[in-house]
Every structure is written in C-alpha cells, then in structure tokens.
C-alpha cells in the first residue's frame, strides 16, 4: 500500500539528481563550486492548517514555506524530500495534495528525490535543498548601524485572514476575500533573494511576524532597529482596519507572510531597487538599524508604539 501510494502520487523524473525516488537514499551532486543550503519545516493539522483546508493548497503551502527559507539565504532551489503521516490512506486527498505540491515544485525547478509515509495524525515534513556560491549566502548576522531595513511585498494579510477566519477581526466579506489568498497560497521570494546577493547585509523570511523575525537579525547582529509604522506596506483593504488593535498586531506580529525582511547600506538603495525590479517584486524601506539594542516602532505621531506581542509562538496554546 505505502509503495503504491508513493509510486502513484510522488514518483516523478529527477534529471537533476544522480538517483531520485526508489532507493534507500537519494544521490545528489551539487553543481561544481556551489555550496548546499538545506532547510526543513513541519506542518501539523490543527496547528498550521485546518482539517477543512484544500489539500492542493496545503501541498502548495508546505513546499512554499520551505522555499521561503531558501529565498532568505539567496539560494537557488534544487531538490526536496517529503514525509507525510496520514490518519488513513486517502487516495483522493493525496492526489489533490500532490497537484498543489508539484505545481509549486515545477514553478521553482524543484525535484522530489525522496521521503516517507506512515500512519498517524496528519503531519507534513519537508526538507528543501538549494545551491549558492560560496561566500554569497544572505545571513542574519551582518546588519550594521545605519543600514536600511526593507521588506518585500505587503505584510499582515495572511494574519488578518486567519484572524478573520477565527472571528478575532471583523472584516466585510468582500474585504476578507482580498486577504485570504495570502494565507493559503504564499509566494516565496526566490528571485529577490538571489538578486540581493552581494547587496543585502542580512536577511530573513517573515514567517513568525515582522518584529519577531527582524528580532532574530538584531540578536545575531548585536544591533537594534527603529521602524516607522506608517511606512509598513499593507494592502489598502487592510489599511482601512488599522484602527483595530488586532489588525495592527497582524501587521507587526502576525506572521505567515513569507516575504523577505532584509538590511542593506543606505548607499546601496539604488542597487536594492534594481534587484527588486529584476525580481519583479516591490520592496519598501521601513526603518534603519541602530547601534544600541532594542527594537522601536514609531507611530505616525512620532511616539513609540506600544507592542504587546512580537510574533507567533509555536508552543503557545
């Protein structure tokens, strides 16, 4: 049964691997002179997605969140492994999941080279592998005082969609429809990460919330930051709800954006904008790195904005 499921839904040609699905291990040969970037993420039903969510959407998101980590390092995606625990062998669910997974994989040139299946609570674990030239990885520890802080795309939409779904944020149905895709179909910023090689001094993807993830850069870089709340890029439909504390929390600490937050010297602003144009992605300068510790968000009136929550806690009940 297990091998039939694998063969039916997950065995595809892998011309970029020495050996793909079908043996005890995959055999991979990185391109000459390249380093491997490896990341793993796990998604659990009831924690990261709901039982009623589309299996195709779950397949898309499960791979997208891993590719977002590669994007944050400036890596080019190459391969992935996929392990799934299933309550039962549900052929229709797996077929739809595989459609979403492989649609994302084909978009970014990823080959599935192995994995595992077993019975258990619905859990998806993916390891994604990319390549990057030595010395060009975007890391978290390079931010310097005076660097600009940038984000790609818009933030807060996915968290607002979840808050709406949970009944914590009232939105008109027509407005909610504009933020829901961000929750279910995130787009990893692979092209931007690659374009920022040699320009950005640090980078991270926004998975747990802007303040929490930027906080990781500040911790590793022994620096602080000052952000302008009015500069944060949000959809116009969400802008209309920012008088609500929960909406402001979605923007600052909601997570699930999978945009890039990165730093670069002020002298490289033109290079950042050129990289963004090459990648076809909008970027916004939202603040700057400070020499002293701490992260301050400044309200439009110039006063520090009180922040009760900085991001998603994986162990919070």
Is 312 known as a binding-site position? Answer: yes
Is 208 known as a binding-site position? Answer: yes
Is 313 known as a binding-site position? Answer: no
Is 99 known as a binding-site position? Answer: no
Is 108 known as a binding-site position? Answer: no
Is 152 known as a binding-site position? Answer: no
- Rounded distance, CA 256 to CA 242, Å? 18
- Rounded distance, CA 295 to CA 210, Å? 11
Is 48 known as a binding-site position? Answer: yes
Residue 221 backbone dihedrals phi, psi, to 5 degrees = -95, 0
Is 288 known as a binding-site position? Answer: no
Is 168 known as a binding-site position? Answer: no
Contact yes or no for 297/214 (Cβ under 8 A): no
Is 69 known as a binding-site position? Answer: yes
Residues 90, 23, 66, CA angle at the centre, nearest 5°? 60
Is 216 known as a binding-site position? Answer: no
Is 115 known as a binding-site position? Answer: yes
29 burial (CB, 10 Å; 0-12 / 13-18 / 19+) is: exposed
Q: Which of 276, 286, 258 is closest to 149 using CA atoms?
A: 286
Instruction: Output the known binding site.
Output: 24, 39-41, 48, 69, 115-116, 140, 205, 207-208, 256, 312
Instruction: Output the known binding site for Mg(2+).
Output: 24, 39-41, 69, 116, 205, 208
Instruction: Output the known binding site for substrate.
Output: 48, 256, 312
Instruction: Output the known binding site for ATP.
Output: 115-116, 140, 207
């Amino acid at each position: 049964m297990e091998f039939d499921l694998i063969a039916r839904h997950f065995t595809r040609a892998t011309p970029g691997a020495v050996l793909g699905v079908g043996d005890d291990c995959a055999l991979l040969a990185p391109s000459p002179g390249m380093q491997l970037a490896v990341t793993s993420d796990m998604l659990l039903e009831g924690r990261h997605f709901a039982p009623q969510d589309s299996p195709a959407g779950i397949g898309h998101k499960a791979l997208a969140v891993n590719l977002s980590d590669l994007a944050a390092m400036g890596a080019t995606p190459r391969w992935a492994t996929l392990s799934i625990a299933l309550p039962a062998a549900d052929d229709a669910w797996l077929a739809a999941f595989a459609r979403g997974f492989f649609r994302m994989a084909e978009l970014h040139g990823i080959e599935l080279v192995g994995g595992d299946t077993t019975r258990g609570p619905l859990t998806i674990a993916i390891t994604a592998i990319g390549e990057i030239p030595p010395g060009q990885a975007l890391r978290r520890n390079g931010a310097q005082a005076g660097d600009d802080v940038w984000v790609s795309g818009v933030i807060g939409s996915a968290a607002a969609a979840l808050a709406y779904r949970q009944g914590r944020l009232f939105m008109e149905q027509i407005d909610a429809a504009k933020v829901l895709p961000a929750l279910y179909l995130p787009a990893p910023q692979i092209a931007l990460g690659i374009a920022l090689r040699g320009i950005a001094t640090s980078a991270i993807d926004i998975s747990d919330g802007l303040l929490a993830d930027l906080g990781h850069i500040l911790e590793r870089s022994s620096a602080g930051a000052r952000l302008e709340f009015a500069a944060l890029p949000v959809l116009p439909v969400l802008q209309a709800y920012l008088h609500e504390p929960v909406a402001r929390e979605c923007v600052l600490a909601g997570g699930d954006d999978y945009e890039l937050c990165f730093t670069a010297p002020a002298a490289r602003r033109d290079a950042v904008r050129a990289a963004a144009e090459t990648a076809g992605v909008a970027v916004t300068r939202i603040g700057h790195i400070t020499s002293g510790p701490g992260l301050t968000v400044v309200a439009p009136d110039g006063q520090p904005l009180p922040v009760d929550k900085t991001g998603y806690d994986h162990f919070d009940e």
